[in-house]
Homo-oligomer: A and B are copies of this chain.
């Protein structure tokens, strides 16, 4: 997805192209991976120091709504991330370190068929995230002696979190 294509999507939705909006889009386009709202803000302020939080959040939300941007992450431990929606995809999210791994499977088409029969509901989007632990973070977790235990150990979990926050530069 290039800037021209994105701009035409904006126009079709009746949205304007402001310098701020263009900067946000460019930032996402230039990025190698999904960014948090804060990372976008930081980057954009290099050019427009006075851009506000609200502008960044609002634009990320709007761009998500028209399908130009993918929004990753439930309200689970880590911040939301945003990426240009080149193709439609979902993600594995590591609950240990926050790593996001793309998945090229989308279950929505099969599911959508059976909906909207009884009560009307105009569907405009969906989210599908898979949670778990990558190999590195899984090592922190104690499987325990009892096979019925699911290995939840607060202390180890906290250790893992602390290291991870360092790794991800806090927040």
A110 interfacial contact with B, CB 8 Å? yes
**In the assembly, how many copies of this chain are there?**
2
Q: How far is the CA of A134 from the CA of B115 in the complex (A)?
A: 13
Query: Can you list, as one digit per residue, whether each of A90-134 has a CB less than 8 Å from chain B (1) or not (0)?
Result: 001011000001010101101110110001111111111111111
Stretch at the interface among A26-34, A43-51, A67-75: A67-75
Contact A152 B15 (CB under 8 A): yes
Closest 7 CB pairs of A and B: A107-B107, A123-B132, A125-B131, A126-B130, A120-B135, A13-B152, A128-B128
List 16 other contacts, CB 8 Å, given A61-B76, A74-B74, A125-B130: A12-B146, A13-B150, A15-B152, A61-B77, A71-B74, A74-B75, A74-B80, A92-B121, A101-B121, A105-B115, A115-B130, A120-B135, A121-B133, A123-B132, A126-B129, A127-B129
